[in-house]
Structure 1
Amino acid sequence: MGKSSKDKRDLYYRKAKEQGYRARSAFKLLQLNDEFHFLDDPSLKRVVDLCAAPGSWSQVLSRKLFQDERATADRKIVAVDLQTMSPIDHVTTLQADITHPRTLARILELFGDQKADFVCSDGAPDVTGLHDLDEYVQQQLIMSALQLAACILKPGGTFVAKIFRGRDIDMLYSQMGYLFDRVTCAKPRSSRGTSLEAFIVCQQYNPPSGWQPRLDLDQSVQEFFQGCFRGSDSPDVGPWHETPRDIAPFMACGSLDSFDSDATYHGQDLQGDSDVPRRSLDPVQQPTNPPYKQALELKRKGKLTRAV
């Protein structure tokens, strides 16, 4: 997170800096956990954070799993992203593609060929402003994360992913319902109310008996989930063929005492004292490979000039 006018307006943005988080999205996972308690389970040992950069969710996972100095050595956190990430305590980072079988094999290798207890994804595409297109691309990203999760989650595991609520989101809820006993749509208070963003919390992983998920670059999403439709004897029937649509329960996470992510806060600290001057805070972690890096290098060399 860099310096901007948000530093004066958004208290979650400022709180993230003050508490050492790389992004305000850390509070979304914390508020989801306050409601669902998936990170409070003492048996939680193996965790995967997909689309992890810049790493705020990985920071939350590290602090939760290793807050006790007596934490067992078999607890492992793996963060995966196409972008480079700066190191985080107790987190193994992989710069890899979540759709590639080699990534799955590498994670299983790090886990000693044991399945994961928890998989999460806070990934989102670069939005275009065309809502239908953005929702479609986001759902494809979710399905990619779900494919890896289906291969690596143990029975009873939990999967949490960012979604964009739209016209066809109930179809996604139905598809998740074939793999998990409980599916909930949750909106943390730190997520701006003006945004279509929400999170799908899938608990108690329970895939159909006899279905063996397998990542393959040459197969489509439909082929991956072929035979996953419960109650059907036909191998050609899957969640995308005449699937009954469900509406997942909607839950708001975060108490009314929490800060309002859409509110504007001027001239007051986190305790509400307007007499305390505010100082600007530096980013917790500088970008490792920002898209404007080349432009900065050209500017330093005097090769980036404005045309007259």
Structure 2
Amino acid sequence: MAPLPGVEQIKGDITKRSTIEEILDRFKTSDEKINKADLVICDGAPDVTGLHDIDEFVQGNLVLAALNICLHVLCENGNFVSKIFRTKNIDLLYQQLKLFFDDVVIAKPRSSRNSSVESFIVCRQFHLPDNFIPNIDEPFIYTYERTLTNQEKSSFVVPFIACGSLDGFDSDKTYPLEQEYIEPIQPPIHPAYEEACALKKTKKLPISSS
């Protein structure tokens, strides 16, 4: 990612302790206290396999890893927004997040293709449960238990919101370029298959007979 003014970038895996510690260090004050954040956003996603159950599981673990960070840096009544894959087991993730947020909804913005399972979970009004102490090494799903109410045990529909202005661009359509072209902030990468793509465009790519 190209450098951005006023932005500190960390390259790492948020499921690893070393990365979490590096993130927390950026929030520490001179007296080693955590300077709390009002909002945490997670736009991470795994390399999809096309197998929805696997992709959903890996994406769910990324969300829980981001939540693990939230438990340390998010202020009281803070908010958390994360990309998710909205599939059949989304109710489990919803219930886990409801332990820490008063209001949790699934949002599908107009900028997200209808054909994609991508959605965003919007969590508002963060509170740590009584007697719960966040621990980096032991994610909350393994250390915190409480008795569910009868209402929580019963089936329910996860709140879903389709949002976005109808006047905006439709992500399932293509539009002509109506303004002067602007160079991207960060140039495209140079993957190993770049030469093969160039040969294919000029119809010079050898075709295997096997």
Smaller-chain TM-score bracket: 0.7 to 0.9
Where does residue 201 of structure 2 map in the other structure? none
* Inter-partner Cα distance in structure 1 for 2:80 and 2:183: 33
SS at match of 1:92: coil
Where does residue 141 of structure 2 map in the other structure? 222
Length, aligned pairs only: 193
Q: Percent identity among equivalent residues?
A: 43
* Inter-partner Cα distance in structure 2 for 1:183 and 1:286: 37
* 1:150-181, Cα deviation, whole Å (9 max, x unpaired): 22211111111001111110111111111100
Q: CA deviation at 1:284?
A: 2.7
* Inter-partner Cα distance in structure 1 for 2:63 and 2:163: 21
Q: CA deviation at 1:96?
A: 2.4
Asked if structure 1 preserves the Cα contact closer than 8 Å seen for 2:134 and 2:140, the reply is no
Where does residue 257 of structure 1 map in the other structure? 167
1:93 counterpart letter in structure 2: Q
SS at match of 2:8: strand
* 1:179-214, Cα deviation, whole Å (9 max, x unpaired): 100001001111111111000000010121110011
* Inter-partner Cα distance in structure 2 for 1:166 and 1:306: 40
Asked if structure 1 preserves the Cα contact closer than 8 Å seen for 2:97 and 2:104, the reply is yes
Asked if structure 2 preserves the Cα contact closer than 8 Å seen for 1:108 and 1:114, the reply is no
Q: CA deviation at 1:136?
A: 1.4
SS at match of 2:5: coil
TM-score normalised according to structure 2 size: 0.78
Which of the numbers 101, 118, 140 marks the counterpart of 2:17? Answer: 101
Asked if structure 1 preserves the Cα contact closer than 8 Å seen for 2:14 and 2:62, the reply is no
* 1:259-291, Cα deviation, whole Å (9 max, x unpaired): 1111232x4626xxxxxxxx765433124xx47
Which of the numbers 13, 26, 51 marks the counterpart of 1:110? Answer: 26
* Inter-partner Cα distance in structure 2 for 1:213 and 1:118: 18
Where does residue 74 of structure 2 map in the other structure? 153
2:11 counterpart letter in structure 1: Q
The residue correspondences of 1:1-308 to structure 2 (distance < 5 A) are 85-111=1-27, 112=29, 113-216=34-137, 219=138, 222-223=141-142, 226-229=143-146, 246-265=156-175, 267=176, 269=178, 281-287=182-188, 290=189, 292=191
* Inter-partner Cα distance in structure 1 for 2:191 and 2:173: 30
* Inter-partner Cα distance in structure 2 for 1:141 and 1:291: 27
C-alpha spacing 1:244/1:151, structure 2 compared with 1 (3 Å): farther
Deviating beyond 4 angstroms after TM superposition, the runs of 4 or more aligned structure 1 residues are 242-246, 293-296, 305-308
* 1:92-132, Cα deviation, whole Å (9 max, x unpaired): 11122213334333333322221221111111111111111
C-alpha spacing 1:163/1:291, structure 2 compared with 1 (3 Å): farther
SS at match of 2:9: strand
C-alpha spacing 1:124/1:268, structure 2 compared with 1 (3 Å): closer
1:97 counterpart letter in structure 2: D
Asked if structure 2 preserves the Cα contact closer than 8 Å seen for 1:191 and 1:261, the reply is yes
TM-score normalised according to structure 1 size: 0.55
* Inter-partner Cα distance in structure 1 for 2:69 and 2:153: 22
Q: Unaligned stretches of 5+ in structure 2?
A: 196-204
